Structure 1
Amino acid sequence: MIKGCLESFKEMYDEKGEKLITDSYVLGEGSYVLVDEHGEIVEILEVDKKNSDKTGRYYEFAEMDYLSKLVSMDKPVDQKKVIHSNNFLSFFVKKENISNGKLTDDIIENYYKNLSDPRIKYKDKEKKRMYELLEEKYGKSDIDSIEKQKAWIKSNIFSILNKLKNNKSYLKVFLKANIEEYKKESEKYVVPNIYNNTQFNVKTEKSTYGLPNDNMGLNQKKPYLDNKTRKNSTPYLVSLEEVILQKKFFDYLYNNVCESKTNIYISDGYIKCLSNDENLDDKFSGYFLRVKKGKEVEIHDFDIIVGLDNKLKGLFIDTIILIDYTKFKGLLSDNYGEIKDISTLKMLISDIYFNKFLTNNYFSDPKDIKLNDFRVKENLIKSRGAFFNWFYKGDTIVIKQIFDKTSMELIKNAICNEYMIKAKEQFNLRCGILDYLIGGEKMADILNGLASSLREKINNKQTDKIESDNEYYFAVGQISSYLLSKSKSSKKVHSLINPLLNCKTDEKLKLQLQMLFKKYNYDIQKESKRFNNFSAMVLGYQTESKVDDNMLVAGYLYSSLIYESKKEGEVKDGE
């Protein structure tokens, strides 16, 4: 998997070089100080969350910072782990470690001693061998320059804080030098430390092979990662050339993760890193990686995608349930008609069903999702994986299985919480999505047919009969809505329909209807023909099927057939 990704990354790296990484590099919070060869401070760059303006010397600092980073905190030059840079041209330390006394002259002395002769630090023979190869290639580090830098640091590092922002971020000092010098000094540190552990290294005539450090840990505490059936039990080994490329690839990913670009699409010579708010514009086939920022870049999901197309064809949102938008600006009001791309649909689903919490919480720990509505949070957690696979991979297998139930639970929840406009919008959106995902007869046609049939029956002089389960449950919803509308409370309490929505059998459903009737019959005229016909037909119909909450809710949300006028200006039935 990684090998295939590296092939595409190598094409891009061969074309752009180190700028592929440094142009997207994000400086961490801290004070960046540039010192010239005379010991004069040339510039101070302050970077924080509010000020990350990438102008001026930002990219110069970014390049020097990238080349001066430790491979990991487990592989420091300073064995006390107080100084976090990797070469004599730079000096990284937390400001608080200056003020609290953790940074001492002895630690500074040992840091530069290790840089003057890394053999002192590298007790491991393989690391020492790898360093010596770099020393043969580039020569020893200049001792005079190291001593000069050490003297400057000792003289200035404890007083320089007075010129900087007072916070707990880093202080990073850089010597103004040719960037090629930074590259040489960086490589002298990186190469001996690039493998997970040199005890796994295997040398050949042409190269060194070892276990990569990225997304892999192998030690005595993790014996289950060993491949016990092989002579060499290490999971996999890569050459020095490949492991350096792999490090650069993970550095590139890390830069993008720092800017919340965690969805990675990789094809031939092409890598696109996108945030959850973004989607690809063109069709795509290739590798997909979902990454996360930890101590390093962590790959949490990997997949192979074929024929991903974020353009939608045939998804229409209709006003199946009429909504009066004259007094209320709904979330769906401007989006009826054809939905042409997944980005718009993703936004609508997050806003209308999940209170805008879906987009940023596909992988959040449940305790970190600050949603006050338990029912919405519960459904978000249960369905977010299926939505993610649909929105970012084009995989609809799971969402087809769960969307019907998930969306209906959320509609019921909206009704019980008195969010009637929201419930109607959720229903309209639900119908459009189900028509697109599942197909079959359109809900708009079904409901219009039911409404037309029942309208005729409740206006007959003689009581007619219900002819199907769909018609029955739609009628139950209509009667429930009518009865609750008779409440004399200043606020119509739609949560009273909750017992009906929770019924699993027709017997219990009829019992709940009778309870509603007893509660509100004081305001229903005996000669109300429409209500009488509705009631008689519902009570006279028997069904053995499981309660169809889909049709019941549709009938409840649909405009009342009892209240509607036959022609404009006519008094409504029962008034």
Structure 2
Amino acid sequence: MIYDLLEYFKDNPRSNQLVIDQYTLKSGLYIRLNKDGSECMLTVQKRESPQGELYNWFKKADHFSCIIDTNKAFDVPKKVMHNNNFFTLFFKTKSLLAQGKLKDEFINHVPVFYDKLIRKLNSKDVLNFSEKAGLSPVNEEAIIHNRDIIIQKLPEIMRKVIELELKDDDYIKLFFEEDMEAYQREYIRYYYPYIFNKNDFNIPFGDTIYGLSAANMGLNTKKPFLEHKTTNFKVPFRISLEDAMEAKKLFEWLSNQKNEEGKSLSEGYIPLVDENLIALEDKITKRRNMHYVHIEKGTDTIIDDYDFLPGITGEINRFEPNNYLMLEYYDARATSIRSGMEQMVDKYLYSFKLKRYYKTNPKDIKRISHRLMNLLLLSRKAMEDFFIKGDDQGIRHCADRITLELVKEKINEKETVFFHNTGCAMNIRLALLKYFDIGGKKDMGDRVRQMFEQLAYKADNDDVAACADDSEFYFAAGQLVRYILLQSEAKELKHDMVDPFLNAGKAKRFKYEIKGVYHKYSHAFNLRGKRFNNLLSMVMGYDIEDHKKIDFDMFLAGLAAKNVMYVKGENDRENEQ
């Protein structure tokens, strides 16, 4: 699972540097107090990443000096100071100044904070973990010395802050010049006592400690139901202190990943190519073994989906979304790229709601019909497994049923019916049935074309025309219903004009609805119209058995396809194209 990925990350000799390379400084003022009495200063603004030796020094020192969160700060309950060692002091502008003057409250709080720092660093927990890490106790005189220098520098710092016009939430971060190894030692001293989920579950073993990882684990006093109640052990697993620190680095690295455009990544692939190289890629390219991760970013970074994908590739067998329904405007093109196929399915079947809502909590999905919501929730895992992970088992199982319902939903997608959109969706459905060879319907698209040609011939023929089978009946019914509905004097066709046919449970009811819509608009027809009379007689004269299932595929195909009632150059009366 996730710890397979951790093993791969641990094997990388540059894991520490990988984290720091992705790390960015928060906006504010950074000051290094050098040992020779001089100062180095750097200002960082939001969305800017300065370069250079000084910036890189601050980036490393800042990474090693930040707290996990304010609840685990040394400065509780005030939470004014946000640093984790005595080489630094971090606070926000609004804590330092009020109306352009130093806050007395802040000046008085600085010695209080350093007293808390000394007590915490000499606490039993910190001393025990420091001993496990091979660290000597802190030098209290060094802490007091740094405190006195900071207090002395406060008026000067205040003037710089006012001069730079820092915002209230900008940070002021003070650093003492020390070797980076010293910063890293204090980083370990701070993090070891907090690295596990809860120290009550820790077990000393050998030269280390095993505990419940804080990564992807929510077990705490507020969630006792996550404990194992029926076993001799309360927690599901424990990891070593060293692995817990590596897990922290892994999650930190993941949370800071960006794509080539600089946008934050919430998912991606980690290819197993070279143990000296590790990267999160946002797309699949050539065939490789990969780790797939999806992360949720919040107070903590959580991996909410992980999979190992052996030999996955972005190339697929050629997907050909042919224009089976002979639509006048249809721009889907054949592709051998997995993401290209995904884009077509998302566009034509899901109205761009699939990729956007792969992982979204249902309560956060907005501007979507109730029906489409249900279909999305039923199918998105299968679609994601194929398009993101290369596993076609789920999509083969559900594609026939789901895509038919999605085509029906196209009728109800908007108050006004756009048969062209339904036709595009039907083309994609037929292409998917052929691609996955689902349910013996592989050749349905080709049959639709043949049926149109046969129906066009029969409609123009002077001989008595009849439907050859149930499939031709339903296709002809779709053609007839569309033509009849277009005789309405209404400017737009409403979806409730089509709903009775889609909701018909039995064949007799379906045919009854055709009779009803014909009688409603019969005044608009030319009784001498050969095509219409032939088409009407074919549909109304066909004896359909009531117990058989309605062939909605053929009805929808007939409804959305090119219509035999219109010859080239004649006005189709449709505004949909």
**Scaled by the length of structure 2, what TM-score is found?**
0.85
What are the equivalent positions in structure 2 for 1:421-460 lying under 5 Å apart? 421-439=420-438, 440=440, 441-460=442-461
1:262 aligns with 2:279: no
Cα distance in structure 1, aligned partners of 2:125 and 2:232: 21
Shift in CA distance, 459/152, structure 1 to aligned 2, threshold 3 Å: farther
- Give 3-state SS (helix, strand or coil) of 1:85's partner: coil
The answer on whether the counterparts of 1:39 and 1:152 sit within 8 Å (CA) in structure 2 is no
- Give 3-state SS (helix, strand or coil) of 1:340's partner: strand
Shift in CA distance, 126/167, structure 1 to aligned 2, threshold 3 Å: closer
Cα distance in structure 2, aligned partners of 1:85 and 1:571: 75
What are the equivalent positions in structure 2 for 1:370-449 lying under 5 Å apart? 370-371=366-367, 373-416=369-412, 417=414, 418-439=417-438, 440=440, 441-449=442-450
Structure 2 counterpart of 1:359: 355
What are the equivalent positions in structure 2 for 1:130-279 lying under 5 Å apart? 130-132=129-131, 136-137=135-136, 140=139, 142-143=142-143, 146-151=146-151, 154-155=154-155, 161-162=161-162, 163-168=164-169, 170-227=171-228, 233-256=234-257, 259-265=264-270, 267=272, 269=275, 271-274=278-281, 278-279=282-283
Shift in CA distance, 251/322, structure 1 to aligned 2, threshold 3 Å: same
The answer on whether the counterparts of 2:121 and 2:138 sit within 8 Å (CA) in structure 1 is no
1:107 aligns with 2:109: yes
Cα distance in structure 1, aligned partners of 2:571 and 2:160: 85
- Give 3-state SS (helix, strand or coil) of 1:475's partner: helix
1:6 aligns with 2:10: no
Structure 1 counterpart of 2:300: 296
Shift of residue 525, structure 1, vs aligned partner: 1.3
**1:146-175 Cα shifts (integer Å, max 9, x gaps):** 224532564456665432442545444444
The answer on whether the counterparts of 1:477 and 1:554 sit within 8 Å (CA) in structure 2 is yes
Structure 1 counterpart of 2:316: 312
1:66 aligns with 2:63: yes
- Give 3-state SS (helix, strand or coil) of 1:563's partner: coil
Amino acid at match of 2:106: T
Structure 2 counterpart of 1:20: 18
**1:213-237 Cα shifts (integer Å, max 9, x gaps):** 2222444444444445665544322
**Which one is further off, 290-299 or 344-353?**
344-353
Structure 2 counterpart of 1:524: 525
**Which ranges in structure 1 are unaligned for 5 or more consecutive residues?**
326-331
- Give 3-state SS (helix, strand or coil) of 1:288's partner: strand
- Give 3-state SS (helix, strand or coil) of 2:356's partner: coil
Alignment root-mean-square deviation, CA: 3.2
Shift of residue 538, structure 1, vs aligned partner: 1.2
Shift of residue 9, structure 1, vs aligned partner: 0.3
Shift in CA distance, 65/493, structure 1 to aligned 2, threshold 3 Å: same
- Give 3-state SS (helix, strand or coil) of 2:566's partner: coil
- Give 3-state SS (helix, strand or coil) of 1:401's partner: helix
Amino acid at match of 2:566: Y
The answer on whether the counterparts of 1:32 and 1:61 sit within 8 Å (CA) in structure 2 is no
Structure 1 counterpart of 2:551: 548
- Give 3-state SS (helix, strand or coil) of 2:42's partner: strand
Amino acid at match of 1:4: D
Shift in CA distance, 493/58, structure 1 to aligned 2, threshold 3 Å: farther
- Give 3-state SS (helix, strand or coil) of 2:357's partner: coil
Cα distance in structure 1, aligned partners of 2:109 and 2:533: 91
Structure 2 counterpart of 1:82: 80
Amino acid at match of 2:501: L
Shift in CA distance, 570/253, structure 1 to aligned 2, threshold 3 Å: closer
**1:438-460 Cα shifts (integer Å, max 9, x gaps):** 35432331112211222232233
Amino acid at match of 2:549: K
Structure 1 counterpart of 2:339: 343
The answer on whether the counterparts of 1:478 and 1:556 sit within 8 Å (CA) in structure 2 is yes
Shift in CA distance, 152/41, structure 1 to aligned 2, threshold 3 Å: farther
Shift in CA distance, 523/19, structure 1 to aligned 2, threshold 3 Å: same
Structure 1 counterpart of 2:575: none
Cα distance in structure 2, aligned partners of 1:166 and 1:444: 63
**1:350-394 Cα shifts (integer Å, max 9, x gaps):** 233333333232222334333255544443333322222222112
- Give 3-state SS (helix, strand or coil) of 2:342's partner: helix
Structure 2 counterpart of 1:328: none
**1:287-309 Cα shifts (integer Å, max 9, x gaps):** 43322112211122233434433
Shift of residue 435, structure 1, vs aligned partner: 1.4
Shift in CA distance, 32/255, structure 1 to aligned 2, threshold 3 Å: farther
Shift in CA distance, 216/365, structure 1 to aligned 2, threshold 3 Å: closer
Structure 2 counterpart of 1:35: 32
Shift of residue 137, structure 1, vs aligned partner: 5.0
- Give 3-state SS (helix, strand or coil) of 2:75's partner: coil
Cα distance in structure 2, aligned partners of 1:394 and 1:103: 60
- Give 3-state SS (helix, strand or coil) of 1:180's partner: helix
The answer on whether the counterparts of 1:225 and 1:235 sit within 8 Å (CA) in structure 2 is no
Shift of residue 201, structure 1, vs aligned partner: 2.5
The answer on whether the counterparts of 1:94 and 1:168 sit within 8 Å (CA) in structure 2 is yes
- Give 3-state SS (helix, strand or coil) of 1:83's partner: coil
Shift in CA distance, 385/106, structure 1 to aligned 2, threshold 3 Å: farther
The answer on whether the counterparts of 1:371 and 1:377 sit within 8 Å (CA) in structure 2 is no
**Scaled by the length of structure 1, what TM-score is found?**
0.85
Structure 2 counterpart of 1:92: 90
Cα distance in structure 2, aligned partners of 1:152 and 1:348: 65
Shift of residue 345, structure 1, vs aligned partner: 1.8
